[in-house]
Structure 1
Amino acid sequence: MIVKLGMLIVFFGVMVGIGLYCRRHATDVNGFVLGGRSVGPWLTAFAYGTSYFSAVVFVGYAGQFGWKYGIAATWAGIGNALLGSLLAWAVLGRRTRIMTQHLSSATMPEFFGKRFSSDKLKIAASVIIFIFLIPYTASLYNGLSRLFGMAFNIDYSVCVIVMAVLTGVYVIAGGYMATAINDFIQGIIMIVGICAVIAAVLNSQGGFMAALEGLAQVSDPAVSDIPGVFASFFGPDPLNLLGVVLLTSLGTWGLPQMVQKFYAIRDEKAIETGTVISSVFALLVAGGCYFLGGFGRLFSDQIDVAANGYDSIIPTMLSGLSDVLIAVVVILVLSASMSTLSSLVLASSSTLTLDFLKDHFIKDMDEKRQIRIIRGLIVVFIAISVVLAIIQYRSSVTFIAQLMGVSWGALAGAFLAPFLYGLYWKKATSAACWASFLFSTVVMLSNIFVGSRFPALLQSPINAGAFCMLAGLVIVPVVSLFTRKPDPVLVEDAFSCYNKPVIVAQREALGD
């Protein structure tokens, strides 16, 4: 217990210390929200990766999809690395950094408002973010309950409150720069932790080959009659597995807390280096999480999924580890949760302040007042998420959990296509953005209340979210072709940033 508590105290002390150290970077809105657009490749890549993967992935998704698909669940981690990181950086990185700086936009709603010259579009985007990020924030605490129950005799509410307060302290003090530096440290902990845990769990089953052979012997007639299906390449249900890969990979392209990382990149070199680092990080962390979850059925004699749910799978797998490794796991999950929590509350508070309150409800808001309001809203958002998490833990309320399940689909479905076409296609219209916003929010909210009436394939929030993202890629160009064309002067001004001449070293470009 002394070892566990000692490691926790050191971890929390470092996080808060960095927040206080970074106060000098948080003196204006640009510095507080974007780190002055001067964040290097390592910090940006780790900030992207740690915001991507939270305790929801490590405890919830890894356990659930590993149980359903076996070792084939690793494809979700590979998809996260290739589609959610490598391709996202390659397609969105440069153009996002260039156009958002040209338009002087610090948030995704502000980008929509300026790119399509529509204040109403900006307000609508900020409302969608507020509705769906708050319950998603509350979900981050879920993975902690069973792990802390396993490792410490501490009430879950105390754990949630302590984590939330300490995260709030360093975000409020140091803003984006503190979050980025802490994300880097937390990312290293996540890499080391997941590698150590995989090695320990496989060793407890006699090694990798013995564990794989044991998994091949597992059968579940309710899932599939094919022998060895849980140790196979594509698992028992490739189609639904594809939905998981698409939602958890392409979803990052439309999530405001993820895309905003590209706003803060320092230079061209940072984008190139960050692309590689982020992809390797995703492969190690996400691939490792889903790979570990794939062996969950080897512990089926200790797990009652029907009674305790999928969230009990990973904690049960880890319960036999040494005290030191359990402490590492707890800090791993804390790192994953705190990094994502800090990113979400910063995105939510800055969006609500800059895109909703500023100029619409509070006129003539100077820089200092904007920062004060952002900091105040960080406190509000964290408090709400804590209350929701405790209510969900102590009662039988399921609505919150359902809403958390659709938040990724609603946000990514609403924003992915408008943002992507806004960066690349001059003919995209504001009406097409409205169509994408409405379609995804209506579909995903309907999935909560009347999901049983959906086609069988779309009853799953995962598949419904993936469907919304793909549908948006069709809706935006089709609606754009039949609605009023955007102002050509506005469009040319927005895209002029890509044609601006720059002087680079000979190694960066060929001469005449």
Structure 2
Amino acid sequence: MIIKAVMLLVFFGVMVCIGLYCRKNATDVNGFVLGGRSVGPWLTAFAYGTSYFSAVVFVGYAGQFGWKYGIAATWAGIGNALLGSLLAWVVLGRRTRIMTQHLDSATMPEFFGKRFGSTSLKIAASIIIFIFLIPYTASLYNGLSRLFGMAFDIDYTVCVIVMAVLTGIYVIAGGYMATAINDFIQGIIMLFGISAVIVAVLQSQGGFMAALESLAKVSNETASGPVAGAPGVFASFFGPDPVNLLGVVILTSLGTWGLPQMVQKFYAIKSEKSIDTGTVISTLFALVVAGGCYFLGGFGRLFADVVGVTENGTPVGGFDAVIPAMLSGLPDILLAVVVILVLSASMSTLSSLVLTSSSTLTLDLLKGHVVKDMDEKRQVFIMRCLIVVFIAISVVLAIIQYKSSVTFIAQLMGVSWGALAGAFLAPFLYGLYWKKATKTACWVSFLFSTIVMVANIFVRSSFPTLLQSPINAGAFCMIAGLVIVPVVSLFTAKPDQKLVDDAFSCYEEKVLVSQRQALGDRK
């Protein structure tokens, strides 16, 4: 217990000290929200990765999908690395950095407003972000409850409040730069932590091959999917239900392309070299952390005797109980590492979400609309105040859900990722690449995804069987948006040519680079 307490105190102390150290970088809007657009490749890549993966992935998703799909759940982690990280950086990184600086936009709604010449579009985007990021923020605390209950004799409410307060201190003090530096440290902890945990868990089952052989013998009578009755299905390449597994891969991988807290990381990139280096680092980080989490979860059924199984084949206490059950037999020192790992994952994502929410609400909704005259100092002050508000709301929601039978919040958490990514992915992507995209098409994409995902909460039984799952519905919205935007754009009023030409002129500006980056025209 002393070792665990000391490790936690050191961890929290470092986080707060970094926040106070970075105060000098958070005196204006550009510094507070984007770190002065001077963040290097390692910090940017780790900020992207740690914002991507939280306790929701480590405890919730890894436990749930590992239990359902067995070792095939690892495909979700591979998809996160290749589609959610590698391809996202290659397709969005450079263009996002160039156009957002040219348009002088610090948030995703501000990009929509300036790129499509529509203030109402900017306001609508900021409202969608405000509504759907709050429940997502509250969900970050869920994974902590069981782990803290297992490792410490501390009330969950106290844990949530302490984590929220400490995160708030370093974000409010140092803004994006403090978040990025802390994300780097937290990312290192996540890399080493997940690697150590996987080795320890597999060793407890006799090693990788022995664990895989045991998994192949697990009864699959309660598994769902077209090949549920096949022998050894949980140790197979694609698992018992490849169609629904594909929905998981699409939602958790392609979703990053439209999430404001993820895309805004590209706004702050320092240079061309940072993009190239960041792409590699981010991809490797995702492969280890996400791939490791889902890979670990894939062996969850080997611990059925610890977690317990209900008559319908689900874990006693829900899917969130799977990973804690797998970790319950670890040595104390490793348990302390796991707790800090999950804290790191949760605090890094929490800091990113509250910074995104506060900056969006301040710059896109309050500035110029509710408060007419707002100088730089006042904008930063309001953002800091809103960070406190957002964290407080998320804490209240988390505690209400934990201590009562309220399920609505949990449902809303499940659809928030699908609603945000479904609404924004296509308009943002086409906005960077295609001159003919119209603001009407953006509106249709916004409305389509939010209506579908909200309907999925209240009238889920009316949906086709495949789309009754919020995960599949979210994946459907993302893919549908990629079709909706170009089709609607072809049948609606063309965008203002001058506005479009000005936005895309940034790509034609000439820059000087060394020959190691580009060959010259000399013969």
TM-score bracket relative to the smaller structure: over 0.9
Q: Where does 1:95-494 land on structure 2 (aligned, <5 Å)?
A: 95-223=95-223, 224-304=228-308, 305-494=314-503
Structure 2 CA distance, aligned partners of 1:110 and 1:225? Answer: 51
Contact 2:248-2:471 within 8 A present in 1 as well: yes
Check whether the contact 1:171–1:342 (CA below 8 A) recurs between aligned residues: yes
Alpha-carbon offset, residue 307 of structure 1: 3.5
Q: CA deviation at 1:220?
A: 1.8
Supply the distance in 1 between the matched residues of 2:350 and 2:424 (Cα, whole angstroms): 20
Conserved? CA contact 1:35–1:176, under 8 Å: yes
Cα contact 1:246–1:466 (8 A) shared by 2: yes
CA contact (8 A) 2:304 2:315 kept: no
Identity %: 84
Per the alignment, in what secondary structure is the counterpart of residue 338 of structure 1?
A: helix
Deviation track 1:425-466 (CA, whole Å, cap 9, x = no partner) reads 000000000000000000000000001110000000000000
For residues 364 and 166 of structure 1, the distance between their equivalents in structure 2, rounded to whole angstroms, comes to 32
Cα deviations by residue, 1:63-120 (Å, 9 ceiling, x for unpaired): 0000000000000000000000000000000000000000000000000000000000
Shift of 1:303: 1.4
Q: How many residues align?
A: 512
Cα distance in 1 between the residues matched to 2:179 and 2:114:
27
SS at match of 2:306: coil
Cα distance in 2 for residues equivalent to 1:459 and 1:447: 7
How many Å separate the matches in 1 of 2:491 and 2:374?
39
Quick check: 1:219–1:225 contact (8 Å CA) kept in 2?
no
Q: Which residue matches 2:311?
A: none
Cα separation, 2, equivalents of 1:197 and 1:222: 28
Which residue identity lines up with residue 175 of structure 2 in the other structure? G
SS of structure 1 residue aligned to 2:459:
helix
Q: Distance in 2 between matches of 1:476 and 1:466?
A: 16
For residues 75-114 of structure 1, the aligned pairs below 5 Å read: 75-114=75-114
- Aligned equivalents of 1:499 and 1:219: distance in 2? 61
Unmatched runs of 5 consecutive residues or more in structure 2: 309-313
Match of 2:507 among 486, 498, 504: 498
Equivalent residue letter for 1:132: F
Deviations 1:111-165 (A, max 9, x none): 0000000000000000000000000000000000000000000000000000000
| CA distance in structure 1 between the partners assigned to 2:516 and 2:154 by the alignment | 57
Deviations 1:256-283 (A, max 9, x none): 0000000000000000000000000000
Q: Following TM superposition, by how much is the alpha carbon of 1:306 offset from its aligned partner in structure 2, in angstroms? A: 4.7
SS in 1 for 2:369: coil
Distance 1:347 1:274 in 2: 21
SS at match of 1:324: helix
Amino acid at match of 1:451: R
Q: Please tell me the root mean square deviation across aligned C-alpha atoms, in Å.
A: 0.5
Letter in 2 for 1:475: I
Residue aligned with 2:281, SS:
helix
In the alignment, is residue 2 of structure 1 matched against residue 6 of structure 2?
no
Q: Which residue of 2 aligns with 1:511?
A: 520
Distance across 2 between alignment mates of 1:176 and 1:235 = 40
- The question of whether the paired residues in 1 share the 8 Å contact of 2:315 and 2:321 is answered with no
**TM-score, length-normalised on structure 1?**
1.00
Q: CA separation in 1, counterparts of 2:501 and 2:258?
A: 24
Tell me whether 1:31 sits opposite 2:36 in the alignment: no
